[in-house]
Amino acid sequence: MTSPFPDLFGVLESTGARITRNADLTPLSRWKIGGRALALVEPSSAKEAASVMAVMSDRPEPLFIVGDASNVLFDSAGFEGVVLRISRAMSQMTISGTSAWAQAGIWMPLFTRRIGCEGLSGIEHTIGIPGTLGGLILMNGGSQRKGVGLNVKSVLCADEAGNLFTLDQEACGFAYRTSTLQTRRAVVLEADLEFEAGNPSEIRSEMISIMASRRAKFPKNLPNCGSTFLSDPAMYATVGAPGKAIEEAGLKGARCNGAQISPLHANFLVNTGGATSDDILYLIALIRQTVQERTGYFMDCEVRHVAPDGRIRPAHEPAEERWGAVDLTKVAGL
Ligand X SMILES: Cc1cc2nc3c(=O)[nH]c(=O)nc-3n(C[C@H](O)[C@H](O)[C@H](O)COP(=O)(O)OP(=O)(O)OC[C@H]3O[C@@H](n4cnc5c(N)ncnc54)[C@H](O)[C@@H]3O)c2cc1C
State yes or no: residue 265 binds ligand X (CB under 6 A): no
> Which one from 29, 91, 121, 227 is the annotated catalytic residue?
227
Minimum separation from the CB atom of position 42 to ligand X (A)? 12
State yes or no: residue 41 binds ligand X (CB under 6 A): no
Q: C-alpha dihedral over 52, 53, 57, 61, to 10 degrees?
A: 60
Q: Which is nearer to ligand X, 2 or 182 (CB)?
A: 182
The rounded radius of gyration (Å) of the Cα atoms in the chain is 20
Minimum separation from the CB atom of position 84 to ligand X (A)? 8
State yes or no: residue 187 binds ligand X (CB under 6 A): yes
Q: Which is nearer to ligand X, 160 or 194 (CB)?
A: 160
- Told to judge if 177 belongs to the known catalytic residues of this protein, a careful annotator would answer yes
φ, ψ for residue 143, nearest 5 deg: -145, 180
> Which one from 88, 177, 184, 313 is the annotated catalytic residue?
177
Residues 6+ apart with CB under 8 A from 71: 131, 135, 139, 141, 225, 226, 302, 303, 304
The site map against ligand X for 215-244 (x = CB under 6 A) is ---x-----xxx------------------
Distance, CA of 239 to CA of 243 (rounded, Å): 10
Q: Which is nearer to ligand X, 153 or 313 (CB)?
A: 313
**Total residues binding ligand X (CB under 6 A):** 30
Binding residues among 83-142 for ligand X as defined by CB under 6 A: 86, 104, 129-132, 134-136, 138-139, 141-142
Q: Which residue in 292, 312, 294, 296 sits closest to 304, CA to CA?
A: 312
Q: Which is nearer to ligand X, 17 or 138 (CB)?
A: 138
Minimum separation from the CB atom of position 293 to ligand X (A)? 27
Strand-pairing partners, residue 36, are 24
Largest CA distance in the chain: 60
Tell me the window of 66-74, 162-170, 231-239, 279-287 that interacts with ligand X (CB under 6 A).
66-74
DSSP readout, 260-288? EE-SS-TT-EEE-SS--HHHHHHHHHHHH
- Told to judge if 145 belongs to the known catalytic residues of this protein, a careful annotator would answer no
Q: Which is nearer to ligand X, 176 or 292 (CB)?
A: 176
Q: Helix count (H) and strand count (E) of the chain?
A: 10, 17
State yes or no: residue 63 binds ligand X (CB under 6 A): no
The site map against ligand X for 11-30 (x = CB under 6 A) is -------------------x
With vertex at residue 113, the alpha carbon angle to CA 83 and CA 109, rounded to the nearest 5 degrees, is 30
Cβ atoms of 24 and 1 closer than 8 Å: no
Cβ atoms of 69 and 30 closer than 8 Å: yes
Q: Which residue in 109, 70, 68 sits closest to 225, CA to CA?
A: 70
Minimum separation from the CB atom of position 246 to ligand X (A)? 16
Minimum separation from the CB atom of position 162 to ligand X (A)? 14
Strand-pairing partners, residue 63, are 82
Out of 71, 91, 228, 271, which residue is the one contacting ligand X (CB under 6 A)? Answer: 71
- Told to judge if 154 belongs to the known catalytic residues of this protein, a careful annotator would answer no
Cβ atoms of 235 and 249 closer than 8 Å: no
State yes or no: residue 290 binds ligand X (CB under 6 A): no
Minimum separation from the CB atom of position 85 to ligand X (A)? 8
Minimum separation from the CB atom of position 103 to ligand X (A)? 9
- Provide the annotated active-site residues: 177, 227, 302
Which residues are near ligand X by CB under 6 A?
Answer: 30, 65-72, 86, 104, 129-132, 134-136, 138-139, 141-143, 187-188, 218, 224-226, 304
